[in-house]
Amino acid sequence: MYKKGDIIKCTISGFKDYGIFVKVDEEYDGLIHISEISESFVRNVSDYGEIGETIYASVIDNDEESKHLKLSIKNINYKVDGKSMEERDINGFLPLKENLNEWINEKLQEIDKE
């Protein structure tokens, strides 16, 4: 049902020193291992949510037999919509990133004509 790379909605159901436990649906539960919480040092996993809070997570692996998912919240906006910062273009820089080389080339051609 769930496959690697899927962004899914889940509810925090518990914390251990090594990660965050979540309930995904009536069948599936999951673990966000401490190494999949942040690129930075994670001192306390409970700093990343509260029991009962709904978050988004990315599927790393799915054990269909046990109905257990390995999940990650690294590099996604797990509290809002699960999209990466680039996908959300929060700061409005995506058009700049996509067009900068073209704009530079156009300006250089304009300067050459002068």
User: Are residues 53 and 91 both part of a single domain?
Assistant: no
User: Are residues 79 and 92 both part of a single domain?
Assistant: no
Question: Can you tell me the distance from the alpha carbon of 35 to that of 31, in angstroms, rounded to the nearest whole number?
Answer: 11
Q: Is the pLDDT of residue 97 over 80?
A: no
- Of 101, 80, 84, 102, the C-alpha closest to 39 is 84
**CB of 56 closer than 8 Å to CB of 81:** yes
* Number of domains within the chain: 2
User: Are residues 73 and 114 both part of a single domain?
Assistant: no
CATH number at residue 75: 2.40.50.140
User: Are residues 13 and 27 both part of a single domain?
Assistant: yes
Question: Can you tell me the distance from the alpha carbon of 68 to that of 44, in angstroms, rounded to the nearest whole number?
Answer: 23
Per-residue pLDDT band for 77 (boundaries 50, 70, 90) equals confident
* Domain carrying residue 112: 86-114
- Does the predicted model carry a pTM greater than 0.85? no
User: Are residues 74 and 91 both part of a single domain?
Assistant: no
